[in-house]
Structure 1
Amino acid sequence: MKNYKIPNKYPHNHAPNLLLLSNGDLLCTWFGGSCEGKADISIHYSRLKKGEVSWSKAVVLSGDENRSEQNPILYEVKPGHLWLLYTAQIGVHQETAVVRIRRSDDYGHNWSKAEDLFEDEGLFVRNPPIKLENDDILLPAYYCQKSETGFLGDDYSVVKLSSDGGSTWKEVSIPESKGLVHMSAVELDNKDIVGFFRNRRADYIYRTFSKDQGITWSVPEPLELPNNNSSIQCLKLKSGKLALVYDDVNKHISPPTVDMPPWFDKKDMENVGVKEVEKPSAVWGVKRNPLVISLSDDGGRTWPQKKELMTDEGLEGEPEFSYPSLVQDDTGLIHIAYTYLREYIRYVTIEESEILD
């Protein structure tokens, strides 16, 4: 397993997503600036050219002076033609977010101006779209809604489906998905689609499935895998197994030490309408380590193989290793990026055989 630091421009860096291009280049996008939720947060990306070992200097791809731009994802519609999707919100108010899109027709070297992809406000994305066996594009998304605390917790998940290359979209709700967000979707060999969720309640990762190309979905059910109210991502490997990267901890294993996100200034709670309640619908403050990768050979029902990617050994406090993304190249090598201490994006490569050891 090899580790690298992706170059960055600003002190706060978070939420990477990887895209392996058809020309062999590897792109990583994330958001950076002074602090999450601030108006200077913008979308960045770096490129690892095919055959090279050093990532390019970070490039800023957006810059709305009035909104915090977050959660970027990349998608290659056809060779060389890319989408960059991301959210843009007012301050920490995720219920004001819109999903924006920029397009490139030269493998991401030049980009169109930003446009709002959907009219909906409060819509968020995190994990990338997938192309289904019927050529539809499925984009996981979720609506941010204030809970009784006045902050996040009552969010619910949907999928956006397009049969015309993204010109028009149909929305399908995931039943009983309150508090379940960041769905990561994969299509299995039998054409079933499975999705895995981050859980605002910080207990377990949840799983749903669709047998009709995303038109209807099962009620999500918990796995044995823990979740700490932080992001996860899943990938179907060339071997047919599923690989899932996540923080191997939840509120039961490590009770939270604070009651709001680490980037939230509690002094401003009253100013933004946040109040304390006895049993909030979202649990914050569970540590975000260790980061692990697990394998499943039964469509994500069980995950018998597990390997640690990053632990807190030798580091003070409760260091954060979070928001993973993973892709696999033609040689079978697995590429992983994740947030390291919110200071920079760390890039890791690992062979499937290393996970099985």
Structure 2
Amino acid sequence: MYFQPLKVAALVILIWVTYVLYLNYSQEDHQYVRFRLDSGSLPYANSAAVTPMFESQIIPQPAYLPAAHSSSFTMLPNGDLFAFWFAGTKEGSPDVKIWRATYHNGKWSMATALVDPQMIAKANHRYVIKIGNPVIYRAENGVLHLFVVSVSIGGWSGSALNHLTSTDNGITWSEPERIVISPFFNISTLVRTSAVALSDGGFYLPVYMELGRKYPELLRFNFNGKFVEQIRITAKDKMIQPSLVPLSSEKAWVYFRNANKPDVTRDLYAAFSSNAGLSWSQPQKTNLFNPDSSLVAANLGGGRLLMVYNQDDRSQLKLAVSRDGLNWRPVYDLENQRGKEFSYPSIQINEDVVDIMYTNDRKDIKHVRFNREWLDRILNNVQY
């Protein structure tokens, strides 16, 4: 077989043109990219007349499911909560499915399965050995977007991202569709934390890559729910599972799980954007530690941020508050039981109520709900 330089050159040019066209296609006008702040992110009027409220419950699931992990939830138009997580024999097992449940009138429904590896394999015409982290998001137009990680070969670093939608509040769903983020390899994209609304009806989906270097990105979707742009947050290695927190239409913090080994660093890092997430500062150290565990943060309004995180290990799940985004004060222990695991929190703030869900010792999912009056009474006892 002879080397044919003209054919090689033609192939290189074709690849280059394809890549340029792909970049042009995925870059929309940035002039209109702004965050849309939900009601929970706006300043609120504190009322001393409100009774403090704090409650918690376990989301029921079939007894034959020994393990559950990585919950995500959203609020439906009627105020119900809609939660998703993965459960099965253990993380990575072929029998793991994506399960869902609804919170209505103060009570959770029994979980039911929605997505399994066979469903994704059939829809995408490719072998799937396992599925994992789900993320649910309700867009401004009412469409529910469910993102699910799947793996066809190897570990999580070889994952793909699948997208399902529902236009009837989760009664029926589209078939899973594999998102094409790159025209070439299109692997190693994972999700964990909530999507964030944009003012044009689109949204950012925080993701992270694990093939080789581990780093965070934002995927931008337009008002039709179509992927249009990929934004690298930082090239700093081992910064994964970004939690995005808008402060205004243009300013935001993002916080990272630190996947470094404990003997390297356990610092919790953050980056700042002043142009609605299109570019980011270099990661900065906060005053908190991170034991290679997922965390989430949210805007309380009134110049305060709230974080749910693990401090020393996953046996302690804490609340912390900050006014500047870098200096945090731990204010409350949601969990503190040595030898157990409480991890992978999700959070939403809707007017006066804060909802948090997290993995409860890898057995099931726990839901905690409290109001701002309860939190304010906690904060009145600490200096921050």
Q: TM-score range by the shorter chain?
A: 0.7 to 0.9
| 8 Å Cα contact 1:293-1:355 kept in structure 2 | no
State which of 168, 185, 198 in structure 1 corresponds to 2:257: 198
| 8 Å Cα contact 1:320-1:340 kept in structure 2 | yes
Instruction: Tell me the secondary structure at the aligned position of residue 240 of structure 2.
Output: strand
In terms of fraction of residues, the more helix-rich structure is: 2
Partner of residue 141, structure 1: 207
Displacement of 1:3 after TM fit? 1.7
Distance 2:243 2:188 in 1: 19
Distance 2:77 2:272 in 1: 28
Distance 2:315 2:321 in 1: 18
Distance 1:34 1:334 in 2: 31
Q: How many pairs were matched up?
A: 305
Identical-residue share of aligned pairs (%): 28
| 8 Å Cα contact 1:39-1:90 kept in structure 2 | no
| 8 Å Cα contact 1:176-1:220 kept in structure 2 | no
Q: Is 2:282 aligned against 1:219?
A: yes
Unaligned regions of 5+ residues in structure 1, if any? 147-153, 250-286
Distance 1:236 1:21 in 2: 20
**5 Å matches for 1:1-357?**
1-9=54-62, 10-49=65-104, 52-65=105-118, 66-90=128-152, 93-119=155-181, 120-133=186-199, 135-146=201-212, 154-189=213-248, 191-201=250-260, 202=262, 203-249=266-312, 287-298=313-324, 300-312=325-337, 318-330=339-351, 332-351=352-371, 352-356=375-379, 357=381
C-alpha RMSD of matched pairs (Å): 1.8
* Matched AA of 1:214: G
| 8 Å Cα contact 2:345-2:357 kept in structure 1 | yes
TM-score normalized by the length of structure 2: 0.75
| 8 Å Cα contact 2:258-2:267 kept in structure 1 | yes
Displacement of 1:342 after TM fit? 0.3
| 8 Å Cα contact 1:192-1:210 kept in structure 2 | yes
* Matched AA of 1:308: D
| 8 Å Cα contact 1:80-1:108 kept in structure 2 | no
| 8 Å Cα contact 1:12-1:36 kept in structure 2 | yes
* Matched AA of 1:212: N
Instruction: Tell me the secondary structure at the aligned position of residue 197 of structure 1.
Output: strand
| 8 Å Cα contact 1:231-1:322 kept in structure 2 | yes
Partner of residue 279, structure 1: none
Distance 2:154 2:310 in 1: 24
Unaligned regions of 5+ residues in structure 2, if any? 1-53, 119-127
| 8 Å Cα contact 1:75-1:84 kept in structure 2 | yes
| 8 Å Cα contact 1:296-1:305 kept in structure 2 | no
Displacement of 1:129 after TM fit? 1.2
* Matched AA of 1:105: T
TM-score normalized by the length of structure 1: 0.81
| 8 Å Cα contact 2:202-2:225 kept in structure 1 | no
